[in-house]
Amino acid sequence: MTYIAKPRLHHPSLVKNKAGFTRRDYEGAVSTLCAGCGHDSISAAIIQACYELDILPHQVAKLSGIGCSSKAPTYFVGASHGFNTVHGRMPSVMTGANLANRDLIYMGVSGDGDSASIGLGQFAHVMRRGVNMTYIVMNNGVYGLTKGQFSATADKGSISKKGVSNPDSSIDMVSLAILMGATFVGRSFSGDKHQLVPLIKAAMAHKGAAFLDVISPCVAFNNHSGSTKSYDYVREHNEALNRIDFIETREEITTSYDPGTTKTVQQHDGSILRLRKLGEDYDPSDKVAAVKRVQEGLHAGEVVTGLLYVDPTPSDLHANLNTVDVPLNTLNAPELCPGTSALDKINASLR
Amino acid sequence: MKPTDIANPDYFHKVVDCQWACPAHTPVPEYIRLIAHGRYSDAYMINWKSNVFPGILGRTCDRPCEPACRRSRVEDENLVKGKKEPVAICRLKRVAADYKDDEDINSKMPKAPEKNGRRVACIGGGPSSLTVARDLAVLGYEIVIYDQDPKLGGFIRTQIPHFRLPESVIDEEVGYITGIGNVEFRHQRVDSLKAVLAEGYDAVFVGSGAPRGRDLDVPGRKEAAANIHIGLDWLSSVSFGHIDKVGKRVIVLGGGNTAMDCCRTARRLGGEDVKVIVRSGFDEMKASPWEKEDAIGEDIPILNMLVPKEVRHEGGKIQGVLFEKVVAKYDDKGRRSLVPSGEPDEFHECDDVLVAIGQENAFPWIEEDAGIAFDKWGLPQLNEKTFASTHPKVFFGGDAAFGPKNIIWAAAHGHEAAISIHKMLIGENPEERPAPGVNVASQKMGIHEWSYDNAPTIDHRFKVPHRPKQEALKDIMAEVELGFDPQLAFKEAQRCLNCDVQTVFSGQLCIECDACVDICPMDCITFTENAEEKELRLHLTAPAMNPTQDLYIGAGLKTQRVMVKDEDVCLHCGLCAERCPTGAWDMRKYYTEMTHAGHACHKQ
């Protein structure tokens, strides 16, 4: 952490977005994480994404569990709602919050310990239920707060800072999320904001369970040679399948690309994801192919990044449960106590 | 772009905008920090070494440093609740002079060593000659200063009214120079350069200023001469007590600082209806903005776009001045000309006219065959680096060199001329100038601690308290500005961004984690593919739109990208270095000090 607050002076060219805020307005408190932590870069990417999407901060709910990553929501979008849950239980709290107020933008921030170890069960179910959210795992493969033990996402055979080799298989969060039913799945790297910011924007606009696995090197305990989650390793093994140029519905499409170099995915609400191809021909809407490609990458020791899977017509928890269209806090006595005739109707339908 | 060569002393010197802009390159941030720490004597000595007249300049400098100050580029009007303003560098300098410990200063003043047997004459007793005298006296030279006025100081003493600069301050700072020893003052007007040279001096320095006030050439000027005064001569007469009153209605012609001094002086000598009338537009006036402000504050209107046409008089008794109204027209090349607007002429009544429409160089005392060549503007032909004239023993400086400038320029010229004289007399080549001294020190004290106050404040520029107007106008000797008190000085000093504490980048230590990019409040750091400067400036985290400010290019990164830092808006808050996990960024103070004859050419 730093001893001084980030100065409020700013670059003269800083401009306000359509919501009337500058990018600096989406910042939070000064980070208390270690200097150089990848999580801070992800926070900066979230700030940038929220600014570019003209989001109203008070419409955002940030939920997290326990761990370095779960401290991060304090460091972005300070003027929003926040909930720090018990370890690994963020998904159920978020599910409940989402059921109660479907109008907020939900952002779950978790780590590899919180989501792949103690919270693995909750993780699976929140994806399966299709909660409309953006679920970001800041994945560093190590338990930083307890000083450097392997986490469940550490690759088999990778070496700890103390020189010990990891004997256990790793959990691949991307594969798990796709299998569990998430409808938007991507992977990125904290050191590549050009890729990460559009991914976060697209995930936030996705009306369903969106999951992003963001490799985020732990400078203190997992940035040495032998680690597979270090800055150097990820840069050397990064296989980016595509780049998103996220385009909203209300904006005119102005950028033009050579035919054959892009792939567009039109989502249910009309918004368009424009994907720039990088090398191989990859179709992220093909679920079986996506799982195959991700597994191939794992086998080859690649860090496959980009938008890996998207279902353009997702259905979310509210649609599945056929819930009321508005947040519960907007329901008043007439809707909640519709009267005898409504009760009689229900009773009659059950006879 | 090529990686930045930070070993070049100019690179980081340029980042210290105030110091780079100062003709004498005074280490501004260093003395401002010392003022904040209450170390006024130390702050004074840094100034004294560099600009020789801290107390005088702290009241009268035309402050080339302040328009350059980074603070005025990075402030946010909404946060500071006012317009963007530089640090009050000049008035902080005065604080050092006001609150220094005189005994301490006296003990720090150098004393002349044994005479080295060489004699140097300085013609004119103004700031450039005094600087030459100081720099050379400490090396053992015997200095003789000639001046027509009874006391040393030149225009500092004769042209600047005492309500802006008390005479005691001049006496004190002139005294520090004569107190060194080996400096002789001759109250003697020089009428012949050849006669001075004939006295066998090893070198002669001409610091005789630009002493001639330009006159008005309109009908009626001669007839009404009794009530028309040349501003320069009039101010000098006031200064020496030869003039102590003026008519009730006074017109001051001209738009420079002399005009401002004339009108404010007239207000104190009985002028009730005093106005400044200037040919050009208000904004193009040569006077410093704050001097215009002070004049207007003393109920002196400034009328512009009026060209004097005729002085009206009745039998030699002045009635007033007739003015033609003009407008500014610009040609294709942007050159301005003032053309009659066609409106009727304006007549302004008055009892006295003060003419302050410019000053000129005059060397009637330099004989044509003295060996000094002049250019077509009547200025001596000089080597711009060494200030040497076409005569091997004669050097120029101050207003006598390149025409009217300011005290701070005179001090800068004096330093350069002294180096040339010394080098010439010890048999070295004056063309080879000594490099500045640079002292580099990391400011790191702990993981998050720096040995400078790195948190920028968002205070608006503090105003220097003034004496109440009624009181000030009554007494021509009463200083108008009261100066910052230590509390205000501290607050104003805290506005300084410490631009001499540099962000130094070591690419081989960097792991490209982006922590510095993310924390930088000014978005001035970018990691990117290298490109040409024009291209790079457009594609940074925030565009670098000020081409006068450098881009710092750091290489040696594993990804072969480069670190690009836009020096323009950096707050020097040190957060990049604080968030850097590997120490690739460090905050290092670059203390840059110009080399003078007194301490660098001198071989111990």
Please tell me the total count of domains within chain A.
1
d(CA A272, CA A252): 11
> Which residues face A111 on adjacent strands?
A138
Which of A238-252, B229-243, B248-262, B521-535 is predicted least confidently? A238-252
Q: Give the pLDDT confidence score for residue B601 in this predicted structure.
A: 39
Residue B548, pLDDT > 90, answer: yes
CB-facing half-sphere around the CA of B599: CA atoms within 13 A: 10
Q: Stretch B406-433: mean pLDDT, rounded?
A: 96
Long-range contacts of A225-230 (CB under 8 A, 24+ apart): A225/A159, A226/A158, A226/A159, A226/A160, A226/A163, A227/A141, A227/A158, A227/A159, A227/A160, A227/A161, A228/A141, A228/A154, A228/A155, A228/A158, A228/A301, A229/A139, A229/A140, A229/A141, A229/A142, A229/A154, A229/A155, A229/A158
Q: How confident is the model at residue A259 (pLDDT cuts 50, 70, 90)?
A: low
Nearest residue in B to A230, CA atom: B511
pLDDT of residue B502: 97
Bridge-based pairing of strands B562-566 and B585-593 is unpaired
Q: Rounded CA gap, B441 and B299, in Å?
A: 51
**Please, which residues bridge with residue B554 across strands?**
B563
Nearest residue on chain B to A24, judged by CA atoms? Answer: B521
What pLDDT shows up at residue B604? Answer: 35
CA distances, A123 to each of A50, A118, A233 (Å) = 24, 10, 27
Q: Tell me, what amino acid is at A123?
A: F
How close is the nearest chain A Cα to the Cα of B571, in Å?
Answer: 9
pLDDT band at B602 (very low <50, low <70, confident <90, very high): very low
The Cα-based distances of B336 to A143, A314, B345, B359, B584 in angstroms read 71, 69, 21, 21, 52
Is residue A190 domain-resident? yes
What residue numbers bound the domain in which A102 lies?
23-322
pLDDT at A282: 87
pLDDT for the residue numbered B600: 43
Q: Cβ of B513 and A13 within 8 Å?
A: no
The whole-number average pLDDT for the span A81-102 is 97
CA B604/CA B602 separation, integer angstroms: 6
Query: Tens of pLDDT along B378-408?
Result: 999 999 999 999 999 999 999 999 999 999 9
Residues from chain B contacting residue A37 (CB–CB below 8 Å): 513, 515
pLDDT of residue A4: 87
A262-276, B230-244, B437-451, B579-593: range with lowest mean pLDDT: A262-276
Q: How many CB pairs under 8 A join A and B?
A: 104
Q: Which two tokens stand for residue B322?
A: 């007739």
Distance of alpha carbon B234 from alpha carbon B239, whole angstroms? 9
Q: Is the pLDDT of residue A200 over 50?
A: yes
Residue A185 host element (H or E): strand A184-189
Closest chain A C-alpha to B567 CA, distance in angstroms: 12
State the best of B514, B565, B570 to mutate against chain A, taking most chain A CBs within 10 Å: B514
The CATH number given to whatever domain includes residue A182 is 3.40.50.970
Checking if the pLDDT of A229 tops 60, the result is yes
Q: What is the pLDDT of residue A252?
A: 52
Terminus-to-terminus CA distance in chain A, angstroms? Answer: 65
Asked, for residue A155, whether it belongs to a domain, the answer is yes
Q: Are B248 and B375 in contact (CB under 8 A)?
A: no
Flag whether pLDDT at B580 surpasses 60: yes
Domain-embedded: residue A327: no
Of the candidate ranges A127-141, A255-269, B145-159, the one whose mean pLDDT is the lowest: A255-269
Q: Model confidence at A272, in pLDDT bands (50, 70, 90)?
A: confident
Residue A262 pairs in a beta bridge with A276
Question: Long-range CB contacts (< 8 A, 24+ apart) of A317-322?
Answer: A317/A95, A317/A98, A317/A99, A317/A129, A317/A130, A317/A131, A317/A132, A318/A98, A318/A99, A318/A102, A318/A132, A320/A129, A320/A130, A321/A99
Instruction: List, in sequence order, every residue forming a beta bridge with B586; answer none if it has no partner.
Output: B504
pLDDT of res. A244: 86
Decide: helix, strand or coil at residue B220. coil
Q: How many CA atoms lie within 13 A of A340 on its CB side?
A: 0
Q: Which range, of A44-58, A317-331, B141-155, B328-342, averages the lowest pLDDT?
A: B328-342
Residues from chain A that touch B543, judged by Cβ atoms under 8 A, are 13
* Percentage, residues of chain A above pLDDT 90: 84
Specify the DSSP class assigned to residue B124: S
CA distance A307 to A299: 19
Q: Cβ A35–B579 below 8 Å, yes or no?
A: yes
Interface contact flag, B513 A36, Cβ < 8 Å: yes
Angle at A268 between CA A267 and CA A269, to 5 degrees: 95
Residue A255 has pLDDT above 70, yes or no: no
pLDDT in tens, B506-518: 999 999 999 999 9
What mean pLDDT do residues B408-431 have?
Answer: 96
Mean pLDDT of chain A: 92
Give the closest of B76, B456, B513 to A191, CB-based. B513
CA distance A82 to chain B (A): 22
Task: Write out the two tokens for A88.
Answer: 């690994």
In chain B, which residues fall in CATH 3.50.50.60?
109-211+361-425, 213-357
Out of B73, B571, B580, name the one closest to residue A7 (CB): B571
Looking at residue B599, what is its pLDDT? 61
What superfamily in CATH does domain B109-211+361-425 come from?
Answer: FAD/NAD(P)-binding domain (3.50.50.60)
Residue B242 carries which side chain, given as an amino acid letter? H
* SS3 call for A128: helix
pTM as predicted: 0.91
* H or E stretch at A273: strand A272-277
Listed range (A96-110, A179-193, A281-295, B36-50) with the worst mean pLDDT:
A281-295
CB contacts, 8 Å: B545 with chain A = 13
From the list B75, B517, B542, the residue facing A9 with the nearest CB is: B75
Closest Cα to residue B122, out of B114, B110, B112, B134? B134
Contact B518 A40 (CB under 8 A): yes
ipTM attached to this prediction: 0.91
Question: How many other C-beta atoms lie within 10 A of the C-beta of residue B535?
Answer: 11
CB B302 within 8 A of CB B251: no
CB count within 10 Å of CB B482 equals 11
The whole-chain average pLDDT of chain B stands at: 95
Does the pLDDT value for residue A307 go beyond 60? yes
Q: Is the pLDDT of residue B294 over 70?
A: yes
Residue A23: count of CB within 10 angstroms of its CB:
20
Tell me, rounded to whole angstroms, the distance of Cα A346 from its chain centroid.
41
- Letter string b/e over residues B129-168, b meaning 16 or more CB atoms within 10 A of that residue's CB: bbbbbbbbbbbbbbbbbbbebebbbbbbbbbbbbbbbeee
A319 bridge partner residues: none
Identify from B74, B511, B546 which residue to disrupt to test chain A contact, counting A C-beta atoms within 10 A and taking the largest count.
B511
Worst-scoring range by mean pLDDT, B357-361, B384-388, B565-569?
Answer: B357-361
Predicted pLDDT at A280: 73
CA–chain centroid gap for B192, Å, is: 31
pLDDT digits (tens, 9 = 90+) for B97-114: 999 999 999 999 999 999
Looking at residue B147, its amino acid is D
- The answer to whether the CB of A137 falls within 8 A of the CB of A112 is yes
**How far apart are the C-alpha atoms of B429 and B601, rounded to whole Å?**
11
Q: CB A44 to CB B514 under 8 A?
A: yes
Inspect the interface and report whether the beta carbons of B518 and A43 lie closer than 8 Å. Answer: yes
Which CA distances in Å does B531 have to B208, B526, B549, B556?
Answer: 52, 13, 17, 15
Q: Specify the CATH superfamily of domain B213-357.
A: FAD/NAD(P)-binding domain (3.50.50.60)
Give how far Cα B30 sits from Cα of B9, B19, B34, B444, Å: 17, 10, 6, 17
pLDDT digits (tens, 9 = 90+) for A9-59: 999 999 999 999 999 999 999 999 999 999 999 999 999 999 999 999 999
Only one residue has tokens 């307005």, namely A25
Measured distance CA(B146)–CA(B129) in Å, rounded: 9
Q: Say if CB B153 and CB B168 are below 8 A apart.
A: no
Q: What is the pLDDT of residue B34?
A: 98
On whether the CB atoms of residues B359 and B212 are closer than 8 A, the answer is yes
- Measured from the Cβ of residue A341, the count of other Cβ atoms closer than 10 Å reads 7
Task: Please state which of the ranges A236-240, B92-96, B478-482 shows the lowest mean pLDDT.
Answer: A236-240
Of A11, A31, A34, the CB nearest to B569: A11
Q: Is B251 exposed, middle or buried (0-12, 13-18, 19+ CB in 10 A)?
A: buried
- Residues B273 and B416: their CA atoms lie apart, in Å, by 45
The Cβ of residue B169 has, within 10 Å, a number of other Cβ atoms equal to: 22
Considering only CA atoms, which of B364, B325, B357 is closest in space to residue B342?
B325
* CA separation for the pair A125, A210 (Å, rounded): 13
- How far is residue A347's CA from residue B356's CA, in Å, rounded to a whole number? 103
- Residues pairing with B314 in the sheet: B317
- How large is the angle between the packed helices B89-99 and B40-51, nearest 10 degrees? 120
HSE (side-chain half, CA atoms, 13 Å) at B180 = 31
Q: How far apart are the first and last CA of chain B?
A: 43
> Does A351 reside within a domain?
no
Report how far residue B133's alpha carbon sits from residue B183's, in angstroms, rounded to the nearest whole number: 7
